[in-house]
Amino acid sequence: MFVRAYLRASTKEQDANRAKGDLLAFAKERGLQIAATYLENESGASLARPELFRLLSDCQPGDILLIEQVDRLSRLNGTDWNKLKDEIRGRRIKVVALDLPTSWGMASENADEFTSRMADAINSMMLDMIAAIARKDYEDRRRRQRQGIAKAKGEGKYRGRPEDKTRNKAIQLMLNGGQSWNTIISATRCSRSTLARLAKRPLGKE
């Protein structure tokens, strides 16, 4: 059984590595060692997360996917959450979250079959509940954000986020130089949507 830690933050401005110490401490308390850590800055509301799926493909049946909070794994809508769950179940991976005590028993190799099956059933139900709460929280925050922007626009106060022109020009030069999208994203930490927009923009245009 290998333990694989998954660390995620939504934007490059956030520190996805922040919870690594807590995950290491949790594993150490249980006599476990984290075999690999997978780190990325992507939205939890999107299934487009290369590092998460690299982790899943590296797992063997019985391996542990260790996370700080369930929302690090999912702020997905119901359809996408079911797709991710099916992938996890199909690979027989155990999900252990620090904010989900019912999952902690799954980090033990000594549990008998009955206890393991009961823990898996309870944990699956709790994961569904917390993932649904995380999604609702995400949608509520997005709605409040839209309302705030609409109010600011109505009052003539909204200016939007200023464009990082220096970075975007460098990205355009990398694109024109034939650099791959993955290389550019790794080097600049820009999003794919930003990269797609800049790929369509003539060099020198703003």
Helix and strand element counts for the chain (H, E): 8, 4
Does residue 10 carry a catalytic annotation?
yes
Of 10, 43, 116, 124, which one is the catalytic site residue? 10
Residue by residue, DSSP assigns 152-163 as HHHTT----PPP
What letter does residue 93 receive in the DSSP assignment? Answer: P
Q: Which of 185, 151, 204, 142 is nearest to 40 (CA)?
A: 185
Instruction: Give the other-Cβ count within 10 Å of 183's Cβ.
Output: 11
Q: In whole angstroms, what is the distance from residue 115 CA to residue 110 CA? A: 10
20: left (phi over 0), alpha (psi -120 to 50) or beta: alpha
The 3-state DSSP class for residue 115 equals helix
Instruction: Give the other-Cβ count within 10 Å of 88's Cβ.
Output: 18
Question: Catalytic residue numbers?
Answer: 10
